[in-house]
Structure 1
Amino acid sequence: MVVTTIDASDIEGTQRMTHELYDLFEKKTGILMNKVPAEIVSSKTEKRNLRKQLETVHGLPILGMIPCFCDVLRAGGTYIFTEEKPEHPFTKIVGRIATKIERF
């Protein structure tokens, strides 16, 4: 699994890394998009369009999209966010993605 953002330099770097390294080792690979703007994630059309675009660019399945949550960023990694805030939308999204990854 590769975690990346929708930033152009991240997309380019992820594409290069997956084609040069992951293909070489024949690893089953999927991509997790992080810090996706909430307006994209909340719009079925925009989310579907972004997913198609990224799957075309990378040639890999998009396993999930995590919206950007300012409070997660503000926590700065000082604690395990999902344990401290089990009811937060971020925690619920991460849980759903984890289940999807287990089946991948």
Structure 2
Amino acid sequence: MTLTLAIHSSKGGTGKTSIAMNLAVAFASAGKNTCLIDLDLRGPSLHSMFEPKSHFWINDFLSGKCSIKDTLTDFKKEMNTKAHLYMSFSNPDIREIRDLVSKDRDWQASALKALMNGKRELSEKDLDVIIFDTSPGVEYESINAVAASDMVIIVHNDTNACNSCTEQLINGVYSLLDKKCGIIENMSHNNCLDIIDKKRYGVPVLSTIPCMCEIATRGKDEILVHTDPEHLFSKSIVSIKEKIEAMK
């Protein structure tokens, strides 16, 4: 059975996309056929780290212009993974992003239906894991991704603003949609990692990843689980993957 994850955050700048990319590579490296879909339609970034080879974007699929399979590029060879590593990219053109902002609720409802159908189509492709990299916050497309997922992984920074908004998301969105959740405390400045709470807001903390300034100097497009599997960040990602598999 295919597991669908929504990687979400209450605010931008939490490292959500980096977590999503590294998790996708970790699953594929472990032999799980994986698909990473960039649903951060208002601020897409996946295309800047991987070169799309398809002529279609995920936006085209959501608008009914193609099938979801038409949007996929397989990076198994480039990333040297055991299993397939498909990616679907969001159109970064500013005109497309501006057009998205003007979409009405009927379009968003149609996009959710398309996303559910696409998920079903990908499941029939023998995929083990589908990962949605969502927009932060509570935009329609973010909630669509959460609604279409089996489990939500919240990438969280320990700031007052993030704390308040994360609690509201858990109580006001995820619980109402009856979604399993896990929290990743990313870029933590707490040096005593052993005493971090095992739960926050009633949700299990899958990992507390310390702030590592040297990661920023290595280039934002480096996938550490691929280039440096012994790095603390990479080991944290693999541990998160294993905990997610145990939760499903």
Report what 1:93 is aligned to: 236
* SS of equivalent to 1:61: strand
Query: Which of 19, 27, 34 is the matching residue for 2:179?
Result: 27
Q: Which has the larger radius of gyration?
A: 2
**How far, CA to CA, are the matches of 1:38 and 1:96 in structure 2?**
19
Report what 2:227 is aligned to: 84
Asked if residue 3 in structure 1 is aligned to residue 155 in structure 2, the reply is: yes
Q: CA deviation at 1:87?
A: 1.6
User: TM-score under structure 2 normalisation?
Assistant: 0.36
Deviation per residue, 1:1-49 (Å, 9 max, x gap): 11101111111111111111101100011211111125122xx3xx2xx
Asked if residue 51 in structure 1 is aligned to residue 170 in structure 2, the reply is: no
Kindly report structure 1 stretches of 4+ aligned residues shifted beyond 3 Å: none
> Is the 1:66–1:94 contact (alpha carbons within 8 Å) kept by the matching residues of 2?
no
Aligned residues: 95
**How far, CA to CA, are the matches of 1:39 and 1:79 in structure 2?**
25
Q: Which 5+ residue runs of structure 2 have no aligned equivalent?
A: 1-152
Structure with more helix by fraction: 1
* SS of equivalent to 2:181: coil
* SS of equivalent to 2:192: helix
Identity of aligned residues (%): 29
Q: How well do the aligned residues superpose, as a CA RMSD in angstroms? A: 1.8
Report what 1:70 is aligned to: 213
**How far, CA to CA, are the matches of 1:23 and 1:51 in structure 2?**
20
Deviation per residue, 1:55-82 (Å, 9 max, x gap): 2xx1211111111111223334222122
Q: Which 5+ residue runs of structure 1 have no aligned equivalent?
A: none
Structure with more strand by fraction: 2
User: TM-score under structure 1 normalisation?
Assistant: 0.79
**How far, CA to CA, are the matches of 1:12 and 1:75 in structure 2?**
32
